[in-house]
Structure 1
Amino acid sequence: MPGGSQGKTIVVGGDGRYFSPEATQIILRLAAGNGIKHIILGKDAILSTPAVSALIRSHKTDGGILLTASHNPGGPENDFGIKFNISNGGPAPEDVTNSIYKITETISEYKSMNLPDLDLSKIGEFNHGPLKVTIVDSVSNYVSLLKEIFDFGMIKNWLHHTTPKPTVLFDALNGVTGPYGRAIFVDELGLSEDSIQNCVPKPDFGGHHPDPNLTYAHELVEAVERNNIEFGAASDGDGDRNMIYGKGAFVTPSDSVAIIADWAEKAIPYFKSGVKGLARSMPTSGAIDLVAKDKGLECFEVPTGWKFFGNLMDAGRLSICGEESFGTGSDHIREKDGVWAIVAWLSILAAANKEQPGAGINDVLMKHWKKYGRSFFSRYDYEECESEGAEAMMSHLRKLFADSSFVGSTLKASSSDTSFKVAEADDFSYTDPIDGSVSKKQGLYIKFTDGSRVIFRLSGTGSSGATVRLYVEKYSKNESEYGLDAQVGLKPLIEVALGVSKLKEYTGRDKPDVIT
C-alpha cells in the first residue's frame, strides 16, 4: 500500500466461499497490528467484486481486499483466493503486484494483534482493539448506484405492462450475487420469487461451478428452454461475470458488449451525455469495433485483464468495455460487473419494445447483425491440462510463427475443401497509451486474409494444471448465415486451429471441457 498501512482505510469483503469468515478475522488482526485505521466490511464478509469497487470509490478509501477465487469452485477441496484493489476501485496493476511479490521473497516476520473474533453478522460501527470497523449492508450501496445509472421505471413498465408479460429468470449459482439479484428483481422490479433461483450464497456454491456459461449454468439454460422464458441471466461466484440467455437465444459476450455499446445512449440514462470510448480484450471478437467505427469512437484492443481498462477509464477515454470471458462493464466502477450487464440488457429490451412491441433477445440480435454483420465467435477451454504439454504446444506455435514461410501459407480444414490464407501471426503485445507500460506474450494469434482469427492462450485462475484456451472468430455479412449455430459456421476454422496447433498431440485432449 503506497506510503505504508498507517492510518489507511480499506474495504473488505468476498464471495462467501469456504474459509471466508476465518480469513476475515485474520485480516482484522493483521490490520490492527499494522496500523490500519478503518475497515469497511460487508455483513458476514459478503460483498460482490463490483460492490467492493463501488464502496472504494464512493467512500474514497485507500483500496480493498477481496476474498474470492472468481468463477472457480469453492469448498474444502477447492479454491480460495485473495485480491487487492487500489484506490480507484480496480485490480492492482502489475507494478503493485510485482512489489507485493518482492516482499514475499524477503519477509521474515509479520505483525498481528491478538483480538477476539468480531461478530460479522451485525451492521454498525465497532471498535475492535485500535481498529475502527464499519459493517455495512452488502447490497444497498451497490443497488443505489445502479438506480442512478438505469431507468428502473422504464424496465418495470416493460415487465408489468406488456401483454403477455415477459418472463424472467436470474440464476446466481449460489454465489455472491444472490442477495443482489433478490434486491433488484424482487424488491425493486416487483417480480415474484419464481424469477430468481440459486440465490442463497453458499461456501461451496451448492456444488455448482459458479461460472456463467452454457456448460456450468445448465440449470438456467434448461429452465429457460423448458418454460419458454424470454429473458434468462446468470452471474458468477464473485459477481463480475454474466451470461444472457433467452428462449433459443444465447448472447455471446462479444455480441453482448457490442449491443450494449450500440444501445447505451438510447437505453441507459448514465450515457445520455455520450460515450467516451469503447474497448475489448484481444481475444474478444471485433463486433464492438464495428460499433465504434459507426459512432466515431475510439476503440482499444487490450490484453486480457480488467486493470488495462482502468487506465483508459481514469484518463476519460473509455466508457464501455468487455471480455469474451463473460465480463462486461463500464466506467461506473473499475471492475467488470455482471449484474450491471444484466440490468443493461433489461434496459435494452425495454427500449426495444417501445420501437417493436414484443421484441425479444433474438430480435435485438438479428437487428444488430443486419446493421453490422455477424462475428461468429467461440471459445474452447481445455481445463487442467498437464502444464508441460500445454507449454510445448505454445512453443511449437512460436517456432511455426518464426518460420518466414508461414505467413502467406494456406491452411486447409480437415473435413472440407475450405481453406484459409495466413495474413499475420504473432504473440500479442500491448503498449498502454496512458502510462507507456508494455505487456508482452499476451496470446498467440493467427489472422487470415478473410478477416478470420484463431488465438491460443494459456490461462486460468484455478489451482491445478494449465487451461488451454482456443478462440475462433469469423466475420460474415451474409444474412443467410446469421441464424446458424456458431459451431456450424465456425467448424472449418476450428479444424484448422486444431490442426495447426497439434493440440490433441500435445495435450492428449480429444475435446474441450467447455465450449462457449
Structure 2
Amino acid sequence: MQRITFGTSGWRGIMCEDFIFENVKVVTQAIADNVKASGEARKGIIVGYDSRFMGESFAREAARVLTGAGITTYLCIRDTPTPVIAFEILRRGTAGAINFTASHNPPEYNGIKFSPSWGGPALPQTTTDIENRANEMAGEICYTECSIDEAMQKGLLVEIDPMQAYLEDLATKVDFAAIAKLGTIAVNPLYGTARGYLAEPLKAHGVKVVQMNANRDPYFGGFPPEPSEKYIQDFIRLVQQDPSISLGIATDGDADRFGIVDSDGSFIEPNYIIALLLDYLVRVKGMTGGVGRSVATSHLVDAVAKLHGIEVFETPVGFKFIGELISQDKIIIGGEESAGLTIKGHVPEKDGILACLLVAEMVAREGKPVRALLEQLYEKVGRYLTKRVNITLSPELEEVFPERIAATPAGFAGVSVKQKVTVDGNKFILEDGSWLLFRKSGTEPVVRLYAEASNEARLQALLEAGREFIVGKA
C-alpha cells in the first residue's frame, strides 16, 4: 500500500492504482478507530459518494467495514452533494461522514473525505491521526466486514436520501419568490451530484429553467467537473446564444463549488462573487458578523468589509479553516478564490448549490446583471483584479526554492514590499496595496503564483515579476 496522505480535502488517488478496495477498507477502519477514540462512535457515521465510477461500490465496502466495527452506518442511496452530507451530519447528530469524492478532479480520480461531527472538513489534527492509523495498518488485514444483509438485519445499516430535508432547509435561506421574477436561468450540474438540487427547486417555485449536462456521466463529458471558464465553454455559449437567459449557474462534481455566467455570457470569477455576496448580505439582508477568506482570496473582500465596518479573518488555504469560523458563528460569509463559500447559519462546508441560488436572488432583487453590480461595487471601494498562474519547477529550481522563497525582496515591479504574510505560503503586500502570493504544491513540482492589482497592466507586471523571482530572468 502506498502511503496514505490527506490533503486539503481528504485522501485522493487514481483508481486502480492507489485508490483500490483494499486501501479504501484500511482508511475506513482508520476512520472507525479515530471515531471510537473520540467517544462518538455510538452516534453512527454517514457514508456518501459522488457521481464517479464505482461510487456506490466503494460506499458499500466502507459500510461493511464500519458495521463490522459495530458502528451504525447511514448509507446514501444515490450520489449526494458534499454540502448535503454536511447538512445531514448536523441534522442527524452523527459522529461524522465518509464521502467518496474527488470533487473537481479529472474522472480517473476518486477520494475519501472525512467530516467529523461538527460538519466541516476534518481539521489537520484529525486527518493526521487517520493517516497515522492507516499507514500503521499497511499490508495487514486489520478490519472485520459485515455483509450488507446482516448489517441491515442487525439495524446497523440504514439507507437514507437526505435531499428533501436539505431542500426544505434551503428554502428558508433563499428567496425563491424573488428569483421567480428573474426570468430564465441556465443550470449546469456538470453531470455531478447537483442533479435535482438546482433545476427542480427552481421549477417548483415557478422559475423557467434551461438545463444542460444534467445526466450522470462518470467521464464528465471528457473534462474535469470544474465550473471554471476553461471547462464550461459549452455552457457559456448556451447563455450567449439565448437572450432570454438572465443568469447561468453551475456546480462541480460534488456540488461544493460554483460557477457564475452573467446574462451576456461573461464568466464571473469566484473572487468577485464572494465580495458581491458579502455586500448584499450586509446591505440588503441585514446580516451581521465578520467575513472569512483564505490568504489567496481577493482583497476586494477586505474593501467591502471596511466599507461596512466588519472584521476580516484571513485563513490558510483549505475550507476547513473557514468552516471552523462558521461553526463558531464568527462570520457572515466565508469564501475561497477556488469557488467555495458558505454563510452564517448554514453548514460549515462550502456549498455550490447555496452559492448559485444566492447569486440568483441577488441579481433578481437588485435588478441588475452581475457585471453591473460589480462595477457599482468598484465605484464604492475601488477596482481589484486577481489572477493565478502555475509555475513548473525544474529539479534544480525545486532544490533551491525553499532558500529563494525565504528571502524578502525589496519590491516587485517597482513597488516596495510593505509586509510579508506567512499564513500559508509567502504573501508579499506592496506599498500600493497590490500583492503576490507564492504557494508550493504538496503533490507536484509546481508553485502557485497569485497576484492582485488595481488594473490589468499592473497585474501583468506583478505576475511577470513574480515569475522572475522564482525562475530568474529569461
Give the shorter-chain TM-score range. Answer: 0.7 to 0.9
Distance 2:199 2:233 in 1: 20
Question: Residue 492 of structure 1 aligns with which residue?
Answer: 461
2:388 to 373, 379, 386: 379
Q: Aligned letter for 1:350?
A: A
Q: Aligned letter for 1:472?
A: A
Distance 1:235 1:19 in 2: 21
Distance 2:399 2:208 in 1: 52
Question: Residue 106 of structure 2 aligns with which residue?
Answer: 73
Question: Are residues 222 and 397 of structure 1, via their aligned partners in 2, closer, same or farther at CA, if it must alter by over 3 Å?
Answer: farther
Distance 1:136 1:191 in 2: 30
Question: Could you report, residue by residue, the CA deviation over 1:419-456 in whole angstroms, capped at 9, with x for unpaired residues?
Answer: 33233345x13xxxxxxxxxxxx212222211111111
State how 1:7-406 maps to structure 2 within 5 Å: 7-37=42-72, 39-44=73-78, 46-74=79-107, 78-107=108-137, 108-116=140-148, 128-156=152-180, 158-159=181-182, 166-192=183-209, 195-228=210-243, 229-246=245-262, 247-265=264-282, 267-268=284-285, 272=286, 274-331=287-344, 332-353=346-367, 359-381=368-390, 385=392, 388=395, 391-392=398-399, 394-401=401-408, 406=409
Q: CA deviation at 1:222?
A: 2.2
Q: CA deviation at 1:296?
A: 1.9
State how 1:439-478 maps to structure 2 within 5 Å: 442-459=424-441, 465-475=444-454
Distance 1:200 1:248 in 2: 23
Question: Are residues 315 and 12 of structure 1, via their aligned partners in 2, closer, same or farther at CA, if it must alter by over 3 Å?
Answer: same
**C-alpha contact (below 8 Å) 2:41/2:95 kept by paired residues:** no
Question: Residue 14 of structure 2 aligns with which residue?
Answer: none
Distance 2:397 2:173 in 1: 43
**C-alpha contact (below 8 Å) 2:49/2:56 kept by paired residues:** no
Distance 1:172 1:14 in 2: 16
Distance 2:341 2:82 in 1: 13
Distance 2:187 2:121 in 1: 27
Q: CA deviation at 1:489?
A: 5.5
Return the TM-score normalized by structure 2. 0.85
Q: Secondary structure at the match of 2:110?
A: coil
Q: CA deviation at 1:388?
A: 4.3
Q: Secondary structure at the match of 1:234?
A: strand
Distance 2:465 2:400 in 1: 15
Q: Aligned letter for 1:200?
A: N
Gaps of 5+ in 2: 1-34
Question: Are residues 143 and 388 of structure 1, via their aligned partners in 2, closer, same or farther at CA, if it must alter by over 3 Å?
Answer: farther
Q: Aligned letter for 2:291?
A: L
Q: CA deviation at 1:12?
A: 1.4
Give the percent of matched residue pairs that are identical in Structure 1 and Structure 2.
29
Q: CA deviation at 1:238?
A: 0.9
Question: Are residues 153 and 230 of structure 1, via their aligned partners in 2, closer, same or farther at CA, if it must alter by over 3 Å?
Answer: closer
Of 168-177 and 280-289, the range deviating more from structure 2: 168-177
Question: Are residues 320 and 444 of structure 1, via their aligned partners in 2, closer, same or farther at CA, if it must alter by over 3 Å?
Answer: same
Q: Aligned letter for 2:405?
A: R
Gaps of 5+ in 1: 119-125, 160-165, 354-358, 413-418, 430-441, 476-480, 506-516
Q: CA deviation at 1:235?
A: 0.9
Question: Could you report, residue by residue, the CA deviation over 1:83-136 in whole angstroms, capped at 9, with x for unpaired residues?
Answer: 1001111011111111112212433442222415x6xxxxxxx96243433323
Question: Residue 423 of structure 1 aligns with which residue?
Answer: 418
**C-alpha contact (below 8 Å) 2:237/2:265 kept by paired residues:** no
Q: CA deviation at 1:290?
A: 1.6
Distance 1:64 1:453 in 2: 38
Q: CA deviation at 1:51?
A: 0.3
Q: CA deviation at 1:309?
A: 1.6
Q: Aligned letter for 1:101?
A: E
Question: Could you report, residue by residue, the CA deviation over 1:223-280 in whole angstroms, capped at 9, with x for unpaired residues?
Answer: 2223344311211111111111211533222211111011114555xxx4x3221110
**C-alpha contact (below 8 Å) 1:276/1:318 kept by paired residues:** yes
Distance 1:55 1:114 in 2: 24
Distance 2:237 2:394 in 1: 34
Number of positions where the alignment pairs a residue of Structure 1 with one of Structure 2: 434
Question: Could you report, residue by residue, the CA deviation over 1:11-32 in whole angstroms, capped at 9, with x for unpaired residues?
Answer: 1112121121111111111011
Q: Aligned letter for 1:151?
A: D
Q: Aligned letter for 1:145?
A: D
**C-alpha contact (below 8 Å) 1:64/1:85 kept by paired residues:** yes
Q: CA deviation at 1:372?
A: 1.2
Q: Secondary structure at the match of 1:7?
A: helix
Question: Could you report, residue by residue, the CA deviation over 1:293-335 in whole angstroms, capped at 9, with x for unpaired residues?
Answer: 2222221011011111233223221220110011121130011
Of 387-396 and 445-454, the range deviating more from structure 2: 387-396
Question: Are residues 450 and 458 of structure 1, via their aligned partners in 2, closer, same or farther at CA, if it must alter by over 3 Å?
Answer: same
Q: Secondary structure at the match of 1:212?
A: coil
Distance 1:176 1:386 in 2: 36
Question: Could you report, residue by residue, the CA deviation over 1:377-411 in whole angstroms, capped at 9, with x for unpaired residues?
Answer: 111245xx56846734632532433xxxx33x4x4
